[in-house]
A and B are shown apart, each in its own frame.
Chain A
Amino acid sequence: MKTISIDPITRLEGHGKIEIFLNDKGDVENAYFQVPELRGFEVFCLGRPVEELPRIVTRICGV
């Protein structure tokens, strides 16, 4: 099956890619959107002083 990869997705904040699978007729059989990134703010913010979080979680997205 032929594939078209859009990697990376551009002009937005963050990492993403799209895999498009084409069937024998050249039509789209299926498409998948994937996010190949994780930093783990959910975990490394735990236990930090609450007054520090405004200066940590602002780095989730700076756009």
Chain B
Amino acid sequence: MGKLKFALYWGAACGGCDVAVLDTHEKILDIAAAADILFWPVAMDFKYRDVEEMVDKSIDVCLFNGAIRNSENEHIAHLLRQKSKVLVAFGACAQLGGIPGLANEKRRQEILDFVYQRSPSTVSRKGVYPQETTPVPEGELKLPKFYDTVMALDQVVDVDYYVPGCPPEPARILAVVQAIVTGNLPPKGAVVGALDKALCDSCPRKREEKKVKTFYRPHEILFDPERCFLEQGLICLGPATRGGCGDPPRCIRSNMPCRGCYGPPPDVTDQGAKMLSAVGSIIDSQDPKEIEKVIDVIVDPLGTFYRFGLPASALRKKRFP
């Protein structure tokens, strides 16, 4: 058997997933020994044309990170699906929409207006926006269409596996590559490179009783760095998040509450709804008025409960009147 053929790509992304692959350090040499990389914009010089000219299904595994934000992201997603035997949604943006998905709280035009006209740091001619086609004296320039709604990868193409994380933990990336190389892959549609339990399960913090009178922002209290954040009234997405980011979990060991980048735990479809239910169950009151007051203290519920997964959630996008 020849070497495996890998491709890596980024849609609407930050490059952190690509760097996480490089953060496997000297083990990247083992990956290079097991696989030829046919396409990887951040690290290698292959162009879109090279991918277009490939025979269908000639890539064994494509790790696709980044959300689908514009028509180029979608076009390349279709192209790589066509050329790849196995397509992996790699990282929170591809799996759930990720941080770029927070834009689903805004209208498309609102984003374009601010970025190209009103932003104090932008100097722009009035009324000038990027166009899909721009005539120039020498011919024509083309830009992708900026979509109204950010999407996860499986909202535009069929996806075989999901590797969660923002970014995925390097040790887990190696485990995934190992599974691919040995042909030891789970059934299609599985989440790989993570645990099958909620993050709280691998959290070392002391848990006593989850009953809170109110919620706090971190600067409002002196909190105990050994004790469960939620019990102290600090919103932590642990109960609504899949474990696997580290042992102890990555943000927790930096004394920061979880924000949910590993996505919903198994059998949970809507991460934010799961978190709402967790919040509901710990408020120490039976009085609807008082409960409402406690909930009102949470500053940015949408951006907190759906930090990494608004596009893949049941809400998907804010409805505008």
Query: Which residues of A line the B interface, CB within 8 A?
Result: 1, 3, 6-8, 10-15, 19, 21, 29-30, 32, 34, 36-40, 42-44, 47-49, 51-52, 55-56, 58-63
* 5 contacts across the A-B interface (CB closer than 8 A): A10-B45, A10-B46, A39-B103, A42-B114, A61-B14
Q: Could you say which of B47, B111, B136, B259 contacts A8, with CB atoms under 8 Å apart?
A: B47
Instruction: Check if B300 sits within 8 Å of A48, measured CB to CB.
Output: yes
Q: Are B115's CB and A51's CB within 8 A? A: no
| Contact in complex: B19, A52 (CB < 8 Å) | no
Residues of B within 8 A of A47 (CB): 300
20 additional A-B pairs beyond A19-B141, A48-B303, A62-B167, beta carbons within 8 Å, are A7-B48, A11-B42, A13-B42, A30-B138, A36-B144, A37-B12, A37-B72, A39-B12, A40-B111, A42-B111, A42-B115, A44-B105, A51-B217, A51-B218, A52-B259, A52-B304, A58-B14, A62-B15, A62-B18, A63-B15
B15, B69, B105, B137: which contacts A39 (Cβ < 8 A)?
B69
Task: Report B-chain residues with C-beta under 8 Å of the C-beta of A11.
Answer: 41-45
* Cβ-defined contact, B139 with A21, below 8 A: yes
The 7 A-B residue pairs whose C-beta atoms are closest, nearest first, are A62-B16, A21-B138, A62-B14, A63-B15, A40-B111, A59-B99, A13-B15
B100 interfacial contact with A, CB 8 Å: yes
Q: Which of B134-150 contact A (CB under 8 A)?
A: 136-139, 141, 143-144, 146
What is the 8 Å Cβ interface bit string for chain B, positions 224-267, against chain A (1 contact, 0 not)? 00000000000000000000000000000000100100000000
Report the interface size class on chain B. 35 or more
Does B166 count as interface, using CB distance less than 8 angstroms?
Answer: yes
A10-B42, A11-B42, A55-B259 known; A42 vs B70 contact (CB < 8 Å): no
Given contacts A38-B146, A39-B69, contact A59 B98 (CB under 8 A): yes
Are B110's CB and A63's CB within 8 A? no
